[in-house]
Chain A
């Protein structure tokens, strides 16, 4: 039988707010354990949660960035479960009245078709504490670190629109880009600021029935999400083929075994509205003010780059995948660098160099203005590409302009006919065999001669001019 999968995702994104969701403690989970705590986020008796306005704004901005409709009224509920990472017994989450509904992302599937994948809703919730399991002598102990307790999260719940691991991965990549655009989170699965659970079921291809789903957790990269979904589709298809029933349960992805394994379920009950946090009423005016703060989103930006700069759709997608890269590109073109040259230099030189140095593009010492200075010299043939690459290295090391570096280090290329002719004379005299080859039509001999002239000029000759002058001589 031919099966197709029905997949929905639940994506937790940790907002990069300065403070936690319901108190003023720093939102820095990585600090010394339990350093960032207070009675509210230790969930002590008597504590009263106060919703952070900054977290609400950031969450709302994220919703708008994903095209999800902010609801005029949303509220927090108590999601009851008992586990030592949640010693108060319930998590504040928006179960009944989420912050926003709808929205989605359009991706390109394996067959190159556009697929609109819908978001069901987005809600806010507080993160739970972190359990650390250790040995004290031979006694296993579990320690609780509350630094993460009460950290601001949003959960993005999709419709079960996905059919393949590829679609899930593309969605996650696009989601990450968009959330980074609005500046709400780093969305790193590796660092745990984005956590993805996948709900997966299978059915005969073409059927519209919804079968029992299995939830898979614990993937810590986009790649693992794809692998876990692929494994689970295969596992369920085989089970159904063998006549076994799929039962509702949760499984953990084991990256070493490359398999999903069943886990013990947590006790969970229906949510009761929380009376301590007032309901959130958003006015249309507030929403519009927030919308005005929304940056140009990736799809719109890519479209504009194609229109304004004539780059290909693929290049536009590459540039707009990172708002810093797109901004860098546009700054270069604003300084008069051609789109083609800007794109080429960003992709092949600047990004690798910045990455190698562990810098952020937006904070790199090689600003678009300084790089434009270099690329202008290159475009005017005042230096050649080899020299340009060396000047780039120098730009990273000093604050001097490309112009100054080129002059000081003698990188300016020799285009002067007299000087080049003299070098050519010298090479032709020294390489009679190559000269004969060229005259006999051995193509690569020309390249060899150009190389020799370059060498004689210590790399400063203009290769284009050499070629022209050589052609005249031969």
Chain B
């Protein structure tokens, strides 16, 4: 069995004597900087790299009294879940919560896989300082825990402006609209196109969950979105181009191992990068390089389409309390290098929120009810969590 952890904190005791997260045990990924810890992001390209300073979210965990347990194993740069143990520390009770980098839905799928809850907070809510990912415009600090309550406490402690990440929202999120007293006043929107091509078992689990919710009085509305397929396409093009451009930071020249025998700088760079990156990341970077260098117009188009999709998704969400989307609760077991297509396969329904920056909450499967995702309006994170709590009671069979 592969061990869950890459690094265990020898001194996990909280740094402060109290705080809203006092005693909450939090596991991190080596894609999130902790000063003095090995922060190789799961890549040979960064082998031996030790972060010089804490990510802002880590600083805030410490200030809130959380106990940092250590680092879990991650996929290369947190991209996809092959080789990742995200969620396992929570599932096995070794931690109360985990921070999981989310670029195409990794935190949400890992949460469903672990039978836990996962929140990908709105873009611009949590500082990105100290993250070592591949897709800057999509990477967010996912929160993973056994309950929506813990997620709420984490969100409250970690969110908010950071003078070191100027991409954050300056104003506090708008006051949420009051939540219906119980499930009977809740309306969920379902995009029928999201069910096309879904594995039969997953589609069945999703329908069962909706049926259970409907029985409890939740109104379910169909909200067609003919452009739904474009989310995956935009994600692949924009995401891979960003990765191809910004992965220069992870060049295996300052860290990692430089293969011997290069005759000059150019050769040294090429061979170091070639040797360092895994198959999946390499395919992703090559795809990005293709669009960047050979099809730049297509990339620009994808950026324009993204803006349109953001508006379309926000419009859909405004008509309901949240969108409900399917969510797989397992990923192929193969832990070794997987090809790009296979790595991305489980993330068909999670990319919508990755592209739009909306908050998305993963709810675990319960009995016949499959796992599902709730997508809320941007910055409506608190209300989304409260909604999740209400609906969780229903899915678990309560009232």
Contacts and interface: CB of A to CB of B under 8 A. Distances in A.
Contacts of B39: 45-46
A46 B51 contact: yes
B342 interface: no
A277 B246 CA distance: 13
B288 to A, nearest CB: 9
Interface stretch (B160-168, B173-181, B320-328): B160-168
A270 B247 CA distance: 15
A82 B132 contact: no
A46 B166 contact: no
Nearest to A82: B269
Contacts of B53: 39
Contacts of B269: 82
Interface stretch (A86-94, A104-112, A304-312, A361-369): A86-94
Given A45-B39, A87-B251, A277-B167, 15 more contacts: A39-B53, A44-B52, A45-B33, A46-B33, A46-B39, A48-B128, A50-B163, A78-B245, A87-B254, A270-B293, A275-B137, A276-B128, A276-B136, A278-B166, A278-B167
Q: Which 10 A-B pairs have the closest CB atoms?
A: A89-B248, A275-B137, A272-B245, A275-B136, A46-B130, A46-B33, A48-B129, A88-B249, A45-B132, A78-B245
Contact of B265 (A83, A273, A278): A83
A89 B244 CA distance: 10
Contacts of A50: 163-166
A90 B245 contact: yes
B163 to A, nearest CB: 7
Contact of B266 (A44, A267, A269, A272): A267
A383 B145 CA distance: 92
A78 B292 CA distance: 11
Contact of A45 (B41, B165, B241, B265): B41
B291 to A, nearest CB: 10
A80 B249 CA distance: 11
Contacts of A346: none
B292 A270 contact: yes
B242 A45 contact: no
A47 B250 CA distance: 12
A295 interface: no
Contacts of A87: 251, 253-254
Contacts of A272: 241-242, 244-246, 292, 299
B49 interface: yes
Contacts of A44: 49, 52
Contacts of A273: 303
Contacts of B250: 45
Contact of B165 (A48, A78, A83, A90): A48
A255 interface: no
B33 to A, nearest CB: 4
Nearest to B248: A89
B293 A269 contact: yes
30 contacts: A44-B49, A45-B33, A45-B41, A45-B49, A45-B132, A46-B33, A46-B131, A46-B132, A48-B128, A48-B129, A48-B130, A50-B164, A51-B166, A78-B245, A80-B248, A82-B248, A83-B265, A87-B251, A87-B254, A88-B248, A90-B245, A90-B246, A267-B266, A269-B293, A272-B241, A272-B244, A272-B299, A275-B242, A276-B128, A277-B167
A267 B264 CA distance: 14
Interface of B: 33, 39, 41, 46, 49, 51-53, 55, 127-132, 136-137, 163-167, 241-242, 244-251, 253-254, 265-266, 269, 292-293, 296, 299, 303
B309 to A, nearest CB: 16
Contacts of B254: 87
Nearest to B245: A272
Nearest to A50: B166
A82 B266 contact: yes
A46 B129 contact: yes
Contacts of B129: 46-48
Contacts of B132: 45-46
A410 interface: no
B211 to A, nearest CB: 40
A149 B271 CA distance: 25
A128 to B, nearest CB: 13
A194 to B, nearest CB: 28
B187 to A, nearest CB: 33
Contacts of A278: 166-167
Nearest to A45: B132
Interface in A25-53: 39, 43-48, 50-51
Nearest to A267: B266
Contacts of B247: 89
B249 to A, nearest CB: 4
Interface in A178-225: none
Interface string A132-161: 000000000000000000000000000000
Nearest to B32: A46
B248 A46 contact: no
B260 to A, nearest CB: 15
Contacts of A48: 127-130, 164-165
B268 to A, nearest CB: 9
A84 interface: yes
A88 B128 CA distance: 18
Contacts of A51: 166
A220 B1 CA distance: 63
B387 to A, nearest CB: 29
Contacts of B241: 272
Contact of B166 (A43, A47, A267, A277): A277
A44 B46 CA distance: 10
Nearest to A44: B52
A275 B199 CA distance: 34
Given A46-B132, A50-B163, A84 B246 contact: no
A403 B248 CA distance: 69
Contacts of B41: 45
Between A87, A89, A269, the greatest number of chain B beta carbons within 10 A of the residue's beta carbon is seen for A89
Contacts of A275: 136-137, 167, 242
Contacts of A269: 292-293
Interface string A244-288: 000000000000000000000001011011111110000000000
B52 A84 contact: no
B376 to A, nearest CB: 22
A269 B165 CA distance: 27
A146 B28 CA distance: 31
B385 to A, nearest CB: 26
A143 to B, nearest CB: 14
Contacts of B128: 48, 276
Contacts of B242: 272, 275
A51 B164 CA distance: 10
Nearest to A77: B245
Contacts of B265: 83-84
